[in-house]
A and B are shown apart, each in its own frame.
Chain A
């Protein structure tokens, strides 16, 4: 049974595209046939994160407007050969694709793929409505930051109004040291506020920048803590139960040790 998953957030810059790239590679590494659709028309980046920017011939708009078959527009990944990208246009804008067109395309692609991941643009306008239209599951990406959580709440409301009720949450760029000091919202706070099932807690990791620079998602790096978190999310999507590695709050003894300069 194939799944169509949209990765959305409301707010920009929280890591939608990074999440899409990592989950796509992770699912493909497990042997699934995966298609990634970039719907951030005009601001495409998923190709860069996957290192596929030089191999694009056709785009999503060519497909939805009927100029080419979708198979012709797909870019196959060099290393993970069952991973495909359907890039979007860098010239057109979000009104170039409507929800019905994407639903029709995904219905056709579903016959070929185990997973279709849709990278949604920021905002709650037309582009968002198009991106979510075909999805069975919505993954909302947020950060432990007041504006990102507020926007996630808004997006969760919009998804509900569009009858998208299978919603999962990923909290990205968690900084344990700041949580320890009490200067960052922790997972309990976010759970309590958003009350959506959390499938991922990703620590802030400089390796993600390195991975983006290289066009090789962090999930492929052995020593990346963010990469490990993405692997766990992929396992959860595949139905496995993986415990969360919770950043511990600084306890009494840790403070005592710190006071005496032991750590």
Chain B
């Protein structure tokens, strides 16, 4: 009886359409976060260009990557600084 009532009021188990939507949202976060190595290098160069205005950075030890977990994406950068530039 409860099942009939649940069905009647549209409650209960998640319908497959909703499941599909949720799965798509998660998978697309990952799909969209993939960046080609060429673009990644370009991003790296541009970050270096901006930072170099204010500090001397250690380019060889610099790391930059996109990290994804189940529902979000982050651009994680580890950029060692050798020294700050003095403001002009």
User: Which A residues fall within an 8 A CB radius of B?
Assistant: 145-146, 149-150, 153-154, 157, 178-179, 181-186, 189, 193, 255, 259
Whether, in the assembled complex, B2 has its beta carbon less than 8 Å from a beta carbon of chain A, the answer is no
Q: What would be 12 A-B contacts, judged by CB atoms less than 8 Å apart? A: A145-B20, A150-B24, A153-B28, A153-B31, A154-B31, A179-B17, A182-B16, A182-B17, A183-B15, A183-B16, A184-B17, A185-B20
B-to-A contact residues, CB < 8 Å: 8, 10, 15-18, 20-21, 23-25, 27-28, 31-32
Contacts of A157 in B (CB 8 A): 31-32
Contact A255 B15 (CB under 8 A): no
Cβ-neighbour of A193 out of B8, B10, B18, B25 (below 8 A):
B25
Tell me the total A-B contact number using a CB cutoff of 8 A.
Answer: 44
A146 lies within 8 A of B20 (CB): yes
Q: Which residue from A146, A179, A181 sits with its C-beta under 8 Å from B23?
A: A146
B21 with A189: CB separation less than 8 A: yes
CB B51 to nearest CB in A, in angstroms, measures 27
Cβ B8 vs Cβ A153 within 8 A: no
Of A157, A179, A182, chain B has the most CB atoms within 10 Å of the CB of: A182
Question: How many whole Å from A141's CB to the nearest CB in chain B?
Answer: 17
* B residues in contact with A182, CB < 8 Å: 10, 15-18
From B23, which residue of chain A is reached at the shortest CB distance?
A: A146
